[in-house]
Amino acid sequence: MRDIQRVNTSGIEPLSSIRDETTEGIKECTITCETVWQALKTEETVGKCRRPRRRRGEKVDVKGVEDWDVLGCAGETAGRYFVVRSGSVKEGGE
């Protein structure tokens, strides 16, 4: 660790994020028109407001998108819901 700390880093910009900036890495995370078109083809519009919905029975890869813990970062929960505590602060002691 001390050897790493001794490395001269003057003139080197600090990292703002850690990501794969190789050609393959950028290609993997790039969204193209074809990607969007394929996603839109799996939907249909329903209802008076013509809202987009996935077709029933259509297989969609949702790994890492819809399997996350929604309540994981909530400070307080009540069953399946997160709790929001709010109140008004009265000025002048009213």
Provide the mean pLDDT of the chain.
84
What pLDDT is recorded for position 6? 92
Is residue 71 very low, low, confident or very high in pLDDT (cuts 50, 70, 90)?
confident
Q: How far apart are CA 6 and CA 31, in angstroms?
A: 41
Which residues, 6+ apart, have CB-to-CB distance to 43 below 8 Å? 52, 53, 54, 55
CB 71 within 8 A of CB 83: no
The count of other CB atoms within 10 Å of the CB of residue 13 is 6
Q: How far apart are CA 13 and CA 60, in angstroms?
A: 41
pLDDT (tens digit per residue) in 28-57 = 888 999 989 988 888 889 999 999 888 888
Domain ranges, ordered by start, for the chain: 20-58
